[in-house]
Amino acid sequence: MHKSGFVNIVGRPNVGKSTLMNALVGMKMSIITSKPQTTRHRIMGIINEEDCQIVFSDTPGFINEPHYKMQEKMNNFVSTTFEDADVMLFVTDMFEKYEEDHPVYERLKKVEIPLFLIVNKIDLRPKEEVLLVIKEWTDQINFKEVFPISALNSLGTEEILKAIKENIKEGPAYYPKDQLTDKSERFFVSEIIREKILQQYKQEVPYSCEVAIDYFKESESKSGPIIKIGATIFASRKSQKPILIGKDGAAIKKLGIEARKDIEAFLDERVFLDLSVKVKDGWRDDEQMLKHFGYQQ
Ligand SMILES: Nc1nc2c(ncn2[C@@H]2O[C@H](COP(=O)(O)OP(=O)(O)OP(=O)(O)O)[C@@H](O)[C@H]2O)c(=O)[nH]1
Ligand SMILES: [Mg+2]
């Protein structure tokens, strides 16, 4: 018998959804940073085994009050995952608090498929507190299974996989068995650059940036094959450009070095990375630009 299913991971920003998906699929698919709203798209990570295929979707953390069209699109990605899942993983952590009348409760109560509660970051709090958090959630909502975990340490993730396999039904593979994601190499390269932007710059700057890949060419150099990649960082305000570039170009140089290292590891090839910065006023509210950056369903 062959089983298959879509397993969608939802929760607020920064609770560890991407860390969890990467741990479950055993590969770095989604970028992770200590800043909230790191993930902006729905990203699939696929586990292929002889007798099953599990298609995970990592999603942006849902945002209660979107300020930009971009955030509305991010919330739309989350909504689609409520519609097409076979199993839902609702992730919270040991720190976040929801107001009693938060819409998440109603939304979770309506879920009719197996819904798992994942309480993440248990490595940071004593066990008694973990039990209290679990009780608060299970008093409100009927979860099919509950998993206290530490995604960072892959603690408890095997148990989740086992339960998923028990809860998905007989079905064919939805994707070819050698496919690991729905996203292209270009997408992951732009995400790696965005991860470095989030890590390197402060406050509003990383949130105002998007990365577009201009070219991606396999080439030959004196010392062997090399991939030449050109990427543009779009900032949403003129004042951000000098910050991104830094004094004498120092900041963008540092960014380029950090990003190239990870891109080389990801592609397992030598890479030449050419970064440039452009200003596109208010791109986060510009439908055309959002479409260009892949924020459409
Ligand atoms: N201590 C600890 N930190 C964790 C754990 N899981 C994730 N983190 C950290 O929490 C931060 C957020 O992790 P992400 O996986 O990016 O969270 P996310 O839910 O995908 O966040 P968004 O994409 O912004 O919605 C990162 O700094 C992670 O290293 C965990 O089990 N323990
Ligand atoms: Mg994420």
pLDDT single digits (tens) 210-234? 999 999 999 999 999 999 999 999 9
Average pLDDT over residues 119-124: 98
Q: Is the confidence at residue 296, as pLDDT, over 90?
A: no
Give the tens place of pLDDT for each residue, 183-199.
Answer: 999 999 999 999 999 99
Is 90 in contact with 117 (CB distance < 8 Å)?
A: yes
Q: Residue 157 Cα, ligand 2 centroid: separation in angstroms?
A: 17
Question: Which ligand is closest in space to the CA of residue 78?
Answer: 1
Question: Stretch 58-85: mean pLDDT, rounded?
Answer: 93
Q: Which residue segments constitute the domains of the chain, with CATH numbers given?
A: 3-170 (3.40.50.300), 185-292 (3.30.300.20)
CA–CA dist 239, 224 (Å, integer): 40
21 CA distance to ligand 2 middle (Å): 9
Residue 53 pLDDT more than 80? yes
The residue contributing the CA closest to ligand 1 atom 9 is 16
Ligand 1: does its nearest atom lie under 6 Å from the Cβ of 15?
yes
Question: 51 pLDDT exceeds 70?
Answer: yes
What's the pLDDT band for 297 if we cut at 50, 70, 90? low
What ligand 1 atom has the least distance to the C-alpha of 19?
15
Choosing from 15, 19, 59, 197 the residue with most ligand 1 atoms within 8 A of its CB, the one to mutate for a pocket test is 19
Strands (E), the chain: 3-11, 43-49, 52-58, 87-93, 115-120, 145-148, 169-170, 210-221, 224-235, 271-279
Question: How far is residue 262 from each of residues 14, 38, 170, 220, 280, measured CA to CA in Å?
Answer: 22, 17, 38, 20, 27
Say if residue 99's pLDDT is above 90.
no
- Which protein residue has the closest C-alpha to ligand 1 atom 5? 152
- Is the distance from CB of 241 to CB of 235 less than 8 angstroms? yes
Q: Is the pLDDT of residue 161 over 90?
A: yes
Best residue among 57, 90, 152 to mutate for probing ligand 1, ranked by most atoms within 8 Å of CB: 152
Which of 14, 75, 78, 89 has most ligand 1 atoms within 8 Å of CB, for mutation? 14
- Our answer on whether the CB atom of 17 is closer than 6 Å to any ligand 1 atom is yes
Give the integer Cα–Cα distance in Å for 255 and 231. Answer: 12
pLDDT at 143 exceeding the cut of 80 = yes
Ligand 1 in contact with 113 (CB < 6 A)? no
- Among 95-99, 109-113, 185-189, whose mean pLDDT is lowest? 95-99
